[in-house]
């Protein structure tokens, strides 16, 4: 069964850090890119960061310099290290992959930044 398993969300205070992880099941082959999107209440889903299998990365403007995306190729995993978190980063974060299965989305993990 093709699925994405996300982990790492939670509640943190402003200025703190979190790491999100997304692992694609072994049945997902031919992965060309992986990424993270987020959706806050009342807003559209937006790109946070993405990474191609050659290592090239792309970031949303609001997270540049604070977030880092990196992959663990052997584990078919992509991680998102989020530093200097702000209340505006509060959202449900979704993992996304592009592969021979087409586009797949994870279930989402909640990140809440609040004092």
- Give the model confidence (pLDDT) of 68-90 as tens digits: 999 988 788 999 999 999 999 99
How does pLDDT run across 15-38, given as a tens digit for each residue? Answer: 999 999 999 887 788 889 999 999
The average confidence (pLDDT) of the chain is 94
Nearest of 107, 94, 102, 83 to residue 12 by alpha carbon: 83
Checking if the pLDDT of 1 tops 80, the result is no
Counting residues of the chain whose pLDDT is more than 70, the rounded percentage is 100
Average pLDDT on 1-21 reads 94
Classify residue 82 by its DSSP letter: E
Burial class (CB in 10 A: 0-12, 13-18, 19+), 32: exposed
How does pLDDT run across 57-66, given as a tens digit for each residue? Answer: 999 999 999 9
């Amino acid at each position: 069964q093709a699925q994405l398993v996300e982990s790492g969300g939670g509640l943190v205070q402003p200025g703190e850090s979190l790491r999100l992880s997304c692992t694609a099941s072994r049945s997902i082959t031919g992965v060309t890119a992986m990424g993270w999107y987020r959706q806050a209440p009342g807003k559209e889903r937006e790109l946070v960061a993405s990474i191609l299998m050659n290592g090239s990365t792309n970031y949303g403007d609001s997270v540049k310099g604070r977030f880092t995306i990196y992959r663990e190729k052997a584990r078919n995993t992509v991680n998102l290290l989020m530093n200097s978190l702000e209340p505006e980063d509060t959202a449900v974060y979704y993992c996304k992959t592009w592969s021979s299965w087409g586009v797949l989305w994870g279930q989402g993990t909640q990140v809440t930044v609040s004092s």
